[in-house]
Structure 1
């Protein structure tokens, strides 16, 4: 496939930037450190958050960065990954996945098809990300009624929001180069920013190639006519590239900026040895803010984005099913003047998208979805802390447009009016101690595929059937938290329960469908001609799964902490983490599928001047709480890892050398949250031992 940022261009830019280290252009006024704003954690910019949140940036993000967003965040308390091999994984938060988790780009909507199917990758690559924020629980409803599980906000500086240089102007940037052994990864990225106090320009580009991932056991592979075996996940190679240009103009009380970005990826689907996906996404964004206003409003911020997403599933060299999703997102947010001790924001958000799938695996019809929402978030400051109140009212229209090539898809329309509300409190109980509570009621409109699906979905090894009679998904959520900090010591724990009145579940029925365009129910196989029906038609059975509404409950605890073992010129810390979640279908008493087992982990971190190092482990218990039939059971395992880093100066540039060793003992392990563990076992274990080394140069 054609790439917008060829490898040769990135390599040339990388070498050129390194050579610039001794030139005078870098000796200009250095870029100041920008104030970090937690966009999703609190719309008012407060650092005292009522809703539980986690943020990764800088060295911390760099040292945990992996090839997908889901794997990068996996291991964060309360967060796991869908893990459809090394190239497609979406975050799971508190046992909830898919459209119950909202992925944002700089606080605005991010459009792709990753929630439609586990083998569809998220169009965000860790190489281009500057910061990731994870907001868990009901406080995320401001960013969409569907975000009952949480929000993941992927932040870059493609539209600069603050001037980075004074009137003399300047240039800053960074170069990333890395390589890994487990998948023969070769990655590189370049970022440049230039400007003065009145304007700023941004350019970035990245490129990464990987081969099939090494694992601790032999696996069969039928990519060619001859079946082979190797200690590799068959068809797990990838080739990813992308980049962006953007800029902003600053005035005395705000800014106006725009960006254009693209993402290209070609990767194997893992579930099928000969199927690859060619993906492309083009996104255009416009953003601006007016601050320091007089009158009832203090500031007004607006965001608009338009995305054109397309991916083709190739069966060998031949194009198969083609998925497209085109849409736009608009968000207007106004912060009002304080009313006594009350501070808050009001806003409106609209989204629209048109989806289509053409081919043998078009299990959902062409569709059009549009929604509009009004939202508000208010905080009341008190002598003991603060209270918050948030609400969101939506209007959602979902329309099936049928499919001219598939007769079983017929036009239909559905409308929903979801409403969601949240009440929170933060109590400064004692010096160093904070207690939080969040209570929320949320409603989620069913998605197009939940309503209208009717076809074979090979990624889940199922024939999926939607339900046009689905009602709004309704849930009540309670979260209680406690946090303590004293010097280098800290501790945080949250416990939660979410009860769904009518959770939308994909349940297996007793039926079997033929994997063909007619989707024949319970076809009879010709006993004398295996693989064919009595009428002579090709027969490949798939279990039938239907979207149904059930009562459900999610409960869990997540905790993290740090113990400062040594203070001084050198520091030694013991970082602790753990979580557990239980998800039950209350309608039949069974466990819901693909839920992470209880997990605990610890890391010993050492820092001394420019040096840093860590060694740690994550232990995951066996997962035997699975839905009937009992598939997807996983055994307990422990994964050890280590990192090291060294920072040095090279003229005006800062060089960070780093290394990370994953799965040190080369342990064979399978993910309980991956659908592949149930549908394609043993094709996709977790990666084996891998060493990643890299260099980041910044100036």
Structure 2
């Protein structure tokens, strides 16, 4: 006869869910007293959901697990989570890929509000969240549009930190950490402290990080040369945050200010610089510059972001409202892509965001949250790679969520209606202003079928308005080595190798996704197994269609030849010299188009406590994606993965060894090449010294890719130019006080 799991009983008690027989309920209190399991609340949901009682697939990384996985980029930090991959832009600007979707379909937030960077528009633009000072990272797979808007049609990654405290911390507490690594000569350090001062709580944190070009197993670069590192993949970053909260009897009011400064190389552009030198006879001049200012000749990004965030919460502020939550953020962002001593392109973003959420009791066991979400974004780009014109995007969203709490059968539902306006005032070709009205809804159920088994199902309809980049792009994008053309345009052939860019005669449509998630959570003692199956049918999927057209053959419809051709024929020498960076051979034209698509797959993860000392974890994930009309494969869909790790723990120390196998990806899109399979062997040793000077102190030694295996990432735009890092040894320390 099976014994009821203490963990399952604890979760059931916390969630107020009846679990099986009455005698089980009566023993739950006693079990709770002997169980230290922490039930983590998902801050990304206003209805206090946990990983277990959410109908939507949600996972949380926190504590030691987060510290061990922490990397420079958010994408690399999450890259080993089931269903999550990374764009792997050479470790300098990797973003999360959720179930094969990335870019404008994946929302990245800091404490529930958009990060305010421009990472959703290009893979070489860095995400500005900092995971080394985060408290936890929440991942919502599948559409999360109800609370976050149409930009979350593929999922949400919410990075949570302590910059605005919601309650007293009971004195003073803090954290610290440092890390050294061999593969890129990494040096980083983090520190944070939070302290009660009267009726206020103050928080300070900061980090600094520096690394050089990272080493790889030997591979052939574009020139056919054998190399063992990724050129121009350095990173220099630092940042800090100060926050203060005033604690009230029924809530809190807080504010924070954060600044991030970062310089990082842009791999894949180096060969353009070399061509520039060869064509114009500046080899000697640039060689001198390299001697005097090592690293400055190759293109690099210089990023600065200032962010002000306000957060207030009130319990029962007035009749009928159980909780009122107000969040506001203003972000001033700029990054320049610099070549030599010249800023070739500058990207800016000024963004305001406001979310007001009111929790209320509906009737009986039903609880709800209603709210307003306002968003205003002003983006601009100047210079030779300003492929998207300056644009303004405003959104006004109204949402309502509801769920039951007291039954084993937990229902969850909600709707959202949005008004979206996207304009590009200076546009010369096509419409310059679009309005969209996305509507999204979801319905889910979480059922405690047995004390050990929970079933989840979630059906969602989500609509997404195209981004400004998908609408108005019209120019060279060297990060992806393409010439991007948005939905606002169409190509008309004017003869041999001549194509006119005209206004599209078909208006862009909303992306409409219908997604079904089916999940099972099985937990017995310290063992658990999670299985999720998903399928998404997306109408009007915005698809990057690689055409057979070359950018040198493009002509704008107002009669002027595009800068890739016309300026080489009649302009003076200085102007021609500037445009030599555009390649005399041109770039392939990628034309955004809309098709119907189908995505489906699975995510499986499990943990087995074999003995008191031995623990085994394993996971696997898979995504299949293609267009419905022609069954053409969508580009950059992740490889199937299978991974496992064995851990031996002896109290004050533990050792672990893990292996992740990446299958071959041979279901490729047009102009894609298959990606071969590979496996990564990793090991780690942790020592936990007992000391009164610090809590949870850990000293660790890690070895990544022990066999120095060459691995290519299919989701990367730089797959052939920037493989995964080679064998890496690192040592670090982390602790709390």
CA–CA distance in 1 between the matches of 2:315 and 2:408?
A: 29
Q: Partner of 1:418 in structure 2?
A: 438
Give yes or no for contact 1:376–1:391 (8 Å, CA) kept in 2: yes
Aligned counterparts of 1:538 and 1:632: Cα–Cα separation in 2:
23
Residue aligning to 1:519: 562
The residue that corresponds to 2:535 in the other structure is 497
RMSD, aligned α-carbons: 2.6
State which of 599, 605, 617 in structure 2 corresponds to 1:560.
605
**8 Å Cα contact 1:182/1:688 also seen in 2:** yes
Return the alpha-carbon distance in structure 2 between the equivalents of residues 419 and 467 of structure 1.
Answer: 21
Residue number among 414, 425, 431 corresponding to 2:451 in the alignment: 431
Mapped partners of 1:122, 1:471: distance in 2: 28
Q: Which residue of 1 aligns with 2:315?
A: 291
1:173 is matched with 174
Partner of 1:141, secondary structure, is helix
Q: State the partner residue of 1:185.
A: 186
CA contact (8 A) 1:620 1:638 kept: yes
Q: What runs of 5+ residues in structure 2 fail to find an aligned partner? A: 1-36, 271-297, 489-506, 555-559, 570-575
**CA distance in structure 2 between the aligned counterparts of 1:69 and 1:191, rounded to whole angstroms:** 19
Distance 1:71 1:102 in 2: 16
Question: Of residues 655, 668, 688 in structure 2, which corresponds to 1:647?
Answer: 688
> Whole-Å Cα distance in 2 between the matches of residues 513 and 140 of structure 1?
36
Structure-2 separation of matches of 1:325 and 1:633: 37
- Aligned with 2:213: secondary structure? coil
Question: Do the aligned partners of 1:299 and 1:335 also contact (CA within 8 Å) in 2?
Answer: yes
Conserved? CA contact 2:164–2:255, under 8 Å: yes
Q: 1:251 maps to what in 2? A: 248
In structure 2, distance between residues paired with 1:318 and 1:455: 20
Q: Which residue number corresponds to residue 442 of structure 1?
A: 462
Distance 2:228 2:564 in 1: 39
1:196-228 Cα distance to aligned partner (Å, 9 max, x none): 572110011100000000100156699xxxx99
* Structure that is richer in helix per residue: 2
Q: Aligned residue for 2:9?
A: none
Residues of 1 paired with 2:583 and 2:191: CA distance?
Answer: 51
1:117-136 CA distance string (max 9 Å, x none): 11001001222222111011
Q: Is the 1:515–1:540 contact (alpha carbons within 8 Å) kept by the matching residues of 2?
A: no
Aligned equivalents of 2:517 and 2:38: distance in 1?
Answer: 32
Encode CA deviations 1:648-691: one digit per residue, 9 max, x unaligned: 233331321112211110000100110112xxx2x211100111
TM-score (norm 2): 0.83
CA distance in 2, matches of 1:518, 1:609: 71
Distance in 2 (CA, whole Å) between partners of 1:587 and 1:511 is 23
For residue 48 of structure 1, report the CA deviation from its aligned partner: 1.7
Equivalences for residues 316-331 of structure 1 within 5 A: 316-331=340-355
210-219 vs 43-52, which deviates more?
A: 43-52
Q: Distance in 2 between matches of 1:587 and 1:192?
A: 56
Which position in structure 1 is the counterpart of 2:237?
Answer: 240
User: Is the 1:41–1:49 contact (alpha carbons within 8 Å) kept by the matching residues of 2?
Assistant: no
Contact 1:512 1:522 in 2 (8 A): no
Q: Could you say if the C-alpha distance between residues 520 and 361 of structure 1 is closer, same or farther in structure 2, counting changes exceeding 3 Å?
A: closer
1:546 partnered with 2:591:
yes
Q: Could you say if the C-alpha distance between residues 212 and 538 of structure 1 is closer, same or farther in structure 2, counting changes exceeding 3 Å?
A: closer
Contact 2:441 2:461 in 1 (8 A): yes
The alignment's TM-score, normalised by the length of structure 1, stands at 0.88
In the superposition, relative to structure 1, how do residues 364 and 565 fare at CA in structure 2: closer, same or farther (>3 Å)? same
The answer on whether the counterparts of 2:616 and 2:645 sit within 8 Å (CA) in structure 1 is: yes
Name 1:91's counterpart in structure 2.
96
Contact residue 107 and residue 157 of structure 2 kept, 8 A: yes
Give the match's secondary structure for 2:167: coil
Is the Cα–Cα contact under 8 Å of residues 365 and 409 in structure 1 kept in the other structure?
no
- Note closer, same or farther for the CA distance 1:34–1:330 as it changes in structure 2 (3 Å cut): farther
Deviation at 1:292?
3.5
Once residues 484 and 304 of structure 1 are traced to their aligned partners in structure 2, the CA distance between those partners, rounded to angstroms, is: 39
- What secondary structure sits across from 1:85 in the alignment? coil
Deviations 1:241-283 (A, max 9, x none): 0011001010110000000001111011111122100011110
Q: Contact (CA 8 Å) 1:323, 1:356: kept in 2 or not?
A: yes
Q: For 2:66, what is the secondary structure of its paired residue?
A: helix
1:610 paired with 2:652, answer: yes
Give the direction of change, closer, same or farther, for the CA distance of 1:120–1:587 in structure 2 (3 Å limit): same
Aligned mates of 1:339, 1:145 — CA distance in 2? 30
Contact 1:378/1:388, CA 8 A, preserved across alignment: yes
Report whether the alignment pairs 1:269 with 2:248.
Answer: no
How many residues were matched structurally? Answer: 642
Cα distance in 2, alignment partners of residues 525 and 254 from structure 1 = 64
Q: Which runs of 4+ in 1 moved over 4 A?
A: 33-36, 218-222, 227-230, 408-411, 515-518, 520-526
- Residue 442 of structure 2: SS of its match in structure 1? strand
1:43 aligned onto 2:47? yes
Pairing 1:98-497 to 2, within 5 Å after superposition = 98-139=103-144, 141-165=146-170, 170-196=171-197, 198-217=199-218, 230-273=227-270, 274-293=298-317, 295-381=319-405, 383-402=407-426, 412-468=432-488, 469-497=507-535
